[in-house]
């Protein structure tokens, strides 16, 4: 373990306690991080990671405990105060203005002025200088709305650097990134640490934590269960500290026994900017089969699912479900024909944050849960309890507002609700994004049960380990086309990687 002198501690949280109604979110947590250190914070969904980071960032106040920065005790009553003191946080959803440029976003609220007017030239130069110094792949004049997610995240980081943050908190920054974007982010973070910045990095991904961090702290039920130098630990030990048990990592399920074709898509074409976003794609999914779609983000996977689900109009091609042509039907009619879709942004599009958890879980089941047109509270409760238990959703009770659930628990709740619809064909995107490793194992088991009950699944995932675990067959997309089709045995990391780079035909 690295021994730190007290004065070299950039951040010291001591004895932090935070209670919410029915939950002890942080239970006497100690966390110290040195200048120039990258410190990873891990733990199950609801373990208290975001709560602890919001306390450090001044968004939330601890019930007990102290915060020290560079050896001095501080109390923040707002995020603005935290940033003035050098602490910045990139939260999960970005807070950028899409219609403005990189520079305007970065300086927003902290603009340099000249004779009381905005000094555009100076702000542009300052932003350009920071981009250069930290090796970011950004241009000051680019419009944020036109940038890919990974680049937008760099804008968020730049905002913090512009405000002279020395402590940077990133809460699950890689959840929405492609592997290449993640690598780039890690280079940036390593550079910042070498420059003396202190980085707090929240992640569920074991390989990322092992690759990036100097030290790790693991929380379980609000309490620290492990604090170690990263070099002294491994995947199994981290998993055990998080869950309190041994987790079967990297389980690969045997193939199922496919029946008749249930979903058939032929010659799907969707126009894009210049090149088609989807170029003559055909696929079939049988009952009792999981077909995985792999590819580097932005190669047509999103458009493929959107076209089948009815969210994007087809320029050519046909889609049939159970033999019925649905290619020109509205989303609702496709649902009625037996097609369900779990989008990657399911929490945003599929939940009402202010409504109760129980009511969120009842959405779409009104008819099943009603009698003579009246919703029956008892049935809503039973229905919600079933999903909560099956998917391990952790919440104080069903009556708490959705927004008080931790990020991963919201993900589990919506996924569980959608799987409960029992549709013959399921399009599912990034099913385990943001959920902890124990929950990944459970969700994988649920998806395989769904398959084995005779449903057809089209699975889009950025996690190759997930594709390998679940898919009976894998289609690899590259530049809007399916460039390879692999059996489960053929779909090794090497073969997938090669095809994803466009290297197979």
Ligand X SMILES: Nc1ncnc2c1ncn2[C@@H]1O[C@H](COP(=O)(O)OP(=O)(O)OP(=O)(O)O)[C@@H](O)[C@H]1O
Binding site for ligand X (CB under 6 A): 20, 23, 25, 43, 45-51, 394-395, 404-409, 436
Query: In whole angstroms, what is the distance from residue 480 CA to residue 301 CA?
Result: 8
230 binds, among Mg ion, ligand X, none (CB under 5 to 8 A by kind): none
Quick one: what does residue 43 bind among ligand X, Mg ion, none, with the CB cut-off 5 to 8 Å set by partner type?
ligand X
The listed partner (Mg ion, ligand X, none) that binds 51, CB under 5 to 8 Å by sort, is: ligand X
Closest distance of CB 51 from Mg ion, Å: 8
* 47 binds, options ligand X, Mg ion, none, Cβ within 5 to 8 A by partner type: ligand X
Q: 187-222 burial string, b = 16+ CB within 10 Å, else e?
A: ebbeebbeeebbbbbbbbbbebbbebbbbbbbbbbb
Q: Bridge-partner residues for 20, per DSSP?
A: 23
Smaller CB separation from ligand X, 47 or 87: 47
Indicate which of ligand X, Mg ion, none lies near residue 23 (CB less than 5 to 8 Å, by partner kind): ligand X
Nearer to ligand X, 92 or 320 (CB): 92
- Of 51 and 398, which has the nearer Cβ to ligand X? 51
Neighbours of 93 (CB within 10 A): 10
The H-or-E segment that residue 209 falls in is: helix 206-212
**Separation CA 462–CA 464 (nearest Å):** 6
496 binds, among Mg ion, ligand X, none (CB under 5 to 8 A by kind): none
Burial classification of residue 382, based on how many CB atoms lie within 10 Å of its CB (0-12 exposed, 13-18 middle, 19 or more buried):
exposed
Nearest-approach distance from CB 399 to ligand X, in angstroms: 12
**Binding residues for Mg ion, how many (CB under 5 A)?**
2
Q: Rounded to whole angstroms, how far apart are CA atoms 75 and 108? A: 25
Task: Give whichever of 43 and 350 is closer to ligand X, judged by the CB atom.
Answer: 43
Q: Minimum Å distance from CB 475 to Mg ion?
A: 33
- DSSP one-letter code for 83: H
Q: Residue 401 CB: number of other CB atoms within 10 A?
A: 15
Rounded to a whole number of angstroms, the minimum distance from the CB of residue 52 to ligand X is 7
Shortest distance in whole angstroms from residue 468 CB to ligand X: 24
Residue nearest to ligand X (CB): 408
Least distance from C-beta 404 to ligand X, angstroms? Answer: 4
**Contact partner at residue 46 from ligand X, Mg ion, none, CB < 5 to 8 Å by partner kind:** ligand X
How far apart are alpha carbons 465 and 469 in whole angstroms?
A: 6
Q: Decide: is 398 part of the binding site for Mg ion (CB under 5 A).
A: no
Query: Dihedral sign, CA of 183, 189, 195, 196?
Result: negative
By a kind-dependent CB cut-off of 5 to 8 A, residue 173 interacts, out of Mg ion, ligand X, none, with none
In eight-state DSSP terms, residue 253 is: P
Nearest to 451 by CA among 429, 419, 487: 419
The whole-angstrom distance between residue 11's C-alpha and the CA centroid of its chain comes to: 26
Q: Which of 86, 300, 407, 480 binds Mg ion (CB under 5 A)?
A: 407
Residue nearest to Mg ion (CB): 50
Binding partner of 123, given Mg ion, ligand X, none, CB within 5-8 angstroms per partner class: none
Stretch that binds Mg ion, among 4-12, 49-57, 437-445, 468-476 (CB under 5 A): 49-57
Q: Which does residue 429 touch among ligand X, Mg ion, none (CB within 5 to 8 A, set by kind)? A: none
Question: How near is the Cβ of 61 to ligand X at its closest, in Å?
Answer: 12
CB of residue 24 to Mg ion, shortest distance in Å = 16
In the complex, the smallest distance separating the C-beta of residue 18 from ligand X, rounded to whole angstroms, is 8
Tell me the chain's radius of gyration from C-alpha atoms: 24
86 makes contact, choosing from Mg ion, ligand X, none, with CB < 5 to 8 Å by partner type, with: none
Query: For residue 66, what are the contacts with CB-CB under 8 A and spacing of at least 6?
Result: 13, 14, 15, 73
Least distance CB 403 / ligand X (angstroms) = 7
Nearer to Mg ion, 50 or 213 (CB): 50
- What DSSP designation does 265 have? E
Site for Mg ion (CB under 5 A): which residue of 26, 32, 50, 461?
A: 50
Report the nearest approach of Mg ion to the CB of residue 53 (Å).
Answer: 8
Give 98 or 353: the residue with its C-beta nearer to ligand X: 353
Q: Which of 325, 324, 328, 275 is nearest to 300 (CA)?
A: 275
Distance CA 374, CA 366 (A): 9
Q: Which is nearer to Mg ion, 61 or 114 (CB)?
A: 61
Query: In whole angstroms, what is the distance from residue 137 CA to residue 146 CA?
Result: 14
* Helix, strand, coil percent values for the chain (each to nearest 5): 35, 25, 40
Name which of 198 and 410 has its Cβ closer to Mg ion.
410
Cα separation values, 255 from 69, 468, 488, Å: 53, 11, 7
HSE, side-chain direction, 13 A CA sphere, residue 180: 11
Q: Could you list the residues that contact Mg ion (CB under 5 A)?
A: 50, 407
């Amino acid at each position: 373990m690295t021994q730190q002198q007290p004065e070299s501690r950039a951040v010291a949280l001591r004895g932090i306690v935070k209670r919410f109604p029915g939950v002890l979110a942080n239970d006497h947590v100690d966390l110290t991080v040195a200048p120039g250190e990258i410190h990873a914070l891990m733990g199950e969904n609801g373990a208290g990671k975001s709560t602890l980071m919001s306390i450090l960032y001044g968004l939330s106040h601890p019930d007990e405990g102290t915060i020290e920065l560079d050896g001095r005790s501080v109390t923040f009553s707002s995020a603005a105060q935290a940033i003035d003191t050098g602490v910045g946080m990139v939260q999960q959803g970005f807070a950028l203005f899409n219609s403005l440029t990189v520079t305007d976003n970065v300086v927003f609220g902290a603009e340099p002025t000249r004779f009381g007017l905005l000094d555009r030239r100076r702000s542009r130069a300052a932003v350009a200088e920071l981009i250069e110094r930290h090796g970011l792949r950004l241009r000051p004049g680019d419009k944020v709305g036109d940038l890919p997610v990974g680049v937008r995240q760099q804008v968020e980081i730049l905002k913090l650097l512009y405000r002279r943050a020395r402590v940077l908190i990133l809460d699950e920054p890689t959840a929405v990134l492609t592997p290449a974007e993640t690598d780039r982010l890690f280079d940036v973070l390593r550079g910042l640490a070498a420059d003396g910045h202190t980085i707090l990095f929240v992640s569920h991904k074991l390989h990322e934590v092992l690759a990036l961090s100097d030290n790790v702290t693991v929380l379980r039920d609000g309490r620290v269960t492990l604090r170690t130098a990263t070099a002294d630990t491994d995947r199994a030990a981290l998993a055990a500290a998080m869950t309190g048990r041994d987790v079967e990592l990297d389980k690969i399920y045997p193939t199922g026994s496919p029946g008749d074709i249930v979903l058939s898509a032929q010659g799907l074409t969707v126009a894009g900017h210049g090149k088609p976003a989807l170029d003559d794609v055909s696929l079939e999914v049988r009952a009792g089969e999981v077909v995985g779609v792999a590819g580097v983000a932005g190669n047509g996977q999103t458009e493929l699912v959107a076209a089948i689900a009815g969210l994007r109009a087809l320029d050519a091609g046909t889609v049939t479900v159970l033999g019925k042509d649905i290619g020109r039907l509205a989303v609702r009619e496709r649902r009625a024909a037996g097609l369900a879709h779990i989008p990657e942004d399911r929490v945003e599009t599929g939940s009402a944050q202010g409504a109760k958890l129980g009511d969120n879980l009842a959405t779409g089941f009104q008819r099943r849960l009603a009698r003579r047109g009246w919703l029956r509270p008892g049935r809503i409760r039973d229905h919600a309890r079933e999903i909560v238990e099956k998917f391990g959703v952790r919440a104080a009770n069903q009556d708490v507002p959705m927004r008080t659930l931790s990020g991963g628990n919201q993900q589990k709740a919506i996924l569980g609700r959608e799987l409960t619809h029992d549709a013959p064909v399921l399009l599912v995107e990034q099913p385990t994004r943001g959920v902890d490793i124990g929950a990944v194992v459970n969700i994988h088991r649920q998806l395989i049960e769904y398959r084995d009950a005779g449903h057809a699944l089209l699975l889009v995932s950025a996690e190759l380990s997930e594709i390998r675990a679940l898919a009976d067959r894998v289609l690899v997309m590259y530049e809007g086309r399916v460039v390879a089709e692999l059996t489960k045995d053929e779909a090794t990391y090497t073969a997938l990687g090669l095809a994803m780079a466009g290297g197979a035909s």
